[in-house]
Structures are given as C-alpha cells and as structure tokens.
A and B are shown apart, each in its own frame.
Chain A
Amino acid sequence: MECSPGNQAIRRFKFRCYASAALVVLTVFVATASFRLLHLHGVVAYFMAVLPALPILWALVAVGQYLAEEKDEFQRALHVQYLLWGIGGTLAVTTTWGYLEDFVQVPRLDLIYVYPIFWLFVAIAMPVVRRRYK
C-alpha cells in the first residue's frame, strides 16, 4: 500500500497489521508448543486452538477500521476494489478446489489457507487496479 506522508489512517492500519502479524507468530508458537509438550485436551485445547486465530481476526477488524477512518474517498474506493478482487479470486479457487477434492482426490486444502489465499489475491489485485487509474 502506498502511504502519503500525511495519511494517518494508513499509518494506523500498518501499525495494527504489523502488531497482529507479530501476535500471530507468537500465538502459533505458544499453541504449537503447548500441544506438543502438554498434550492438551478438552476446553483448554479448544482455547489454545483458537488462540492463533484471534490476532488474524484483529487484522480483519483493522481493515474495517481503516475503511472507516480513511478520509480520501479515492483511496478507500481503491482498497474496497482490492478486497472485492481478493474475495472473488478466493471463492473461485476454493470452490473449484473443493469440487476437485471430490472428483480427483487432489490434496485436501484446509480452511486455514482461505485467509492467505485471500491476501494473495489482494496483493495481485493491487498493482492491476492501481494501473487502471494511472
């Protein structure tokens, strides 16, 4: 994302994203270590399982906050377009792959990969959308 010097909304968004990414790394480490070493089960196991998902949810909230805080209508419209292209690509890939799992026994794609697939498509969409408005 391009950052104009005075754009506070995008600075806050970047900070929240970096903080959430750091928390994801930390919580994945904690969850993996606790499952390996403590052999958790029951409610504690479920809690530790959802722990890495919480910072990811925070990143989603950060996107919503950014869209609410962004004063520049053009920048907001650009980001909305990135997100829409992202979900379009994600739905196309996950649906086709899901049916391929049924028909050809391709390797199973876990739900946890939906989130990175989405951001991959957002990243692909960014330069393409920006080029349209050059």
Chain B
Amino acid sequence: MSGRVGSPAKYRFEDRFLFIIVPLFVLDGILGIWGFHYHHLHPAGALAVFCATAQSSPIIAFIFIIGLYLAEEKDEFQKSVLVQSMLWAIGATLAVSTFWGSMEKYSQAPHMDIAWVQFLFCAVMIVAIGANRWRYR
C-alpha cells in the first residue's frame, strides 16, 4: 500500500478488516489454543457445529468484506487489480486442489485437509496482488 490518500471504500475495507476479521482471528486462536490444545475440549453435536462455524467465520467474513469493497470501490483500476488477483487465486486453488486430489485418489499421496484450501487461496491472492501491483507500477 502506498502512502497516497486511498479511496473511502479502501478505508472502510481496512476498518472492517481491523475491527471484524482481526478479532475473529484472535477469538479463533484463543478457542484453538486454549480450548482444544490446552484443555483438550471435545465438543459434540450442535456445539461442535458451532465451533466449526466459529473457526471458519474469519474466511466467511473476509469473503463478505471483499465483496463489499468491490461493490463500493469507485476506482475501476483498483477494482480490476483485486479482481485479477482473485481470478489468479481461483485458478491456482482449483488447479492445485484438483492436481493433489487426483494424486491422493490414485497414487496414495499424503492427505491434505480440505480446510487448507482457504490458506492456499489467500496465499496465492497475496502473491498475485503483489505481482499485479508490480506489473502496473
């Protein structure tokens, strides 16, 4: 991010990230480390579904926040950089998951947990945003 004045949509995106996503990540960390690793909690039934939803809430919130940003952003160039980055991330995520899934299915490659798809997507998107910004610098 440059030191230039950003758009109102970008500021709103940053505020939402800071005040929604970050607290959700912190709560997830507390739940994961304190609850499951330290106290070895084994939730069952509805509580387990609630815990799973709580753990996945940062990525779901992130998707909504990105959607809101794309709807609010007036700068077509900024919007197109983000959209291009997301398209690269979609392509890479689907390619890697299909490739690895085929290897798991047919040649006993180590199992990759499906929850890792979100991290793969975010990692590729961050790289793609950097690459696109470098391309249009």
Question: Residue A98 at the B interface, CB < 8 A?
Answer: yes
Which residue numbers of A lie inside 8 Å of B, CB to CB? 31, 35, 40, 45-46, 48-53, 56-57, 60, 63-64, 67, 80, 83-84, 86-88, 90-92, 94-104, 108-115, 118
Given contacts A92-B63, A94-B114, A104-B44, contact A49 B56 (CB under 8 A): no
List chain A residues, Cβ under 8 A from B51.
99, 103
Given contacts A87-B121, A103-B48, contact A110 B70 (CB under 8 A): no
The answer for the CA separation of A40 and B107 in the assembled complex, in Å, is 9
Partner of B83 from A31, A57, A84, A100 at Cβ < 8 Å:
A84
CB <8 Å contact, B118 and A53: no
The answer for the CA separation of A56 and B49 in the assembled complex, in Å, is 33
Question: Residue B117 at the A interface, CB < 8 A?
Answer: yes
CB <8 Å contact, B97 and A114: yes
List 12 A-B residue pairs with CB atoms under 8 Å apart, sorted by A's residue number.
Answer: A40-B107, A50-B99, A64-B87, A84-B83, A94-B114, A99-B53, A99-B55, A102-B115, A111-B97, A114-B94, A115-B97, A118-B94
Besides the known contacts A87-B89, A103-B43, A114-B101, 6 further A-B residue pairs in the complex with CB atoms under 8 A apart = A56-B94, A97-B115, A99-B53, A109-B114, A110-B114, A111-B97
CB <8 Å contact, A100 and B87: no
Shortest beta-carbon distance from B71 to chain A in Å: 10
User: Which 6 A-B pairs give the minimum distances between C-beta atoms?
Assistant: A98-B115, A112-B101, A111-B101, A49-B106, A99-B52, A95-B56
Question: Residue B90 at the A interface, CB < 8 A?
Answer: yes
Residue of B nearest to A46 (CB): B107
Residue of B nearest to A56 (CB): B98
Residue of A nearest to B42 (CB): A103
CB <8 Å contact, B101 and A84: no
CB <8 Å contact, B95 and A111: no
CB <8 Å contact, B114 and A114: yes
CB <8 Å contact, A115 and B56: no
List chain A residues, Cβ under 8 A from B53.
96, 99
